[in-house]
Chain A
């Protein structure tokens, strides 16, 4: 079956630091990959996505590249802000399936 593994949190950084949150997956077929962000007390929001190998998704300074050879989709940002503090979820969806697979989420805390 499909699975998504994210690095354990919390990840604690100072403002303007470089962020990496690791995500690896196993899947049948050729999945689409997603990063979602959840701010406290809210639902999940789609942050970025990639639908095929070597695609790079980007949004709001965040980036992730679909690496088929390493089955990874690591989230990066060059300079984090306090407002980036949230929980980040990596997810995949195999072609034709209505059921996505989510990682357990990684909490990011950014200090001023």
Chain B
């Protein structure tokens, strides 16, 4: 089945630690996105990538980093510089003029 796989489903971060959230897709979509969702809040765009080896900052990129070495993969690293990382993180993909497809999310908490 075509889809988006986010892993892990739950992740815990210690003080001063970087953690990486995985997003893999087999939809052959060019564009990939990372969103942050806080309780009762909408979606905020962290980073997006329209093509391999290129990505752009979204509205809240500080404290996060990404890479896009393969079309299928768009991992997000939450660095120790992100002081309030507890949130639900959603990965999405899209083809040209198509609606977005979303993964099932990763819930990140602080230990």
Contact = CB atoms under 8 A, between A and B. Distances in A.
Interface of A: 32, 34, 36, 41-46, 49, 89, 93, 95-96, 98-100, 102-105, 107
B105 to A, nearest CB: 5
Nearest to B58: A99
Interface of B: 4, 6, 31, 40-43, 45, 48, 50, 90, 92, 94, 97, 99-105, 107
Contact of B102 (A45, A93, A105): A45
Give 10 nearest A-B pairs by CB, closest first.
A43-B102, A104-B42, A44-B102, A43-B104, A98-B31, A46-B99, A102-B43, A43-B105, A105-B42, A43-B103
Contact of B90 (A44, A46, A99): A44
B105 A98 contact: no
Contacts of A95: 97
Nearest to A48: B99
Contacts of B97: 32, 95-96
A43 B89 CA distance: 9
Nearest to B45: A99
B90 A43 contact: yes
A32 B94 CA distance: 14
Contacts of A36: 102
Given A44-B90, A89-B43, A99 B105 contact: no
Contacts of B41: 104-105
Contacts of A42: 104-105
A36 B94 CA distance: 14
A46 B101 contact: yes
A93 B90 CA distance: 18
23 contacts: A32-B97, A34-B99, A36-B102, A42-B104, A42-B105, A43-B90, A43-B102, A44-B100, A44-B102, A46-B100, A46-B101, A89-B42, A89-B43, A95-B97, A96-B97, A98-B31, A98-B48, A99-B48, A100-B100, A102-B42, A104-B41, A104-B42, A105-B42
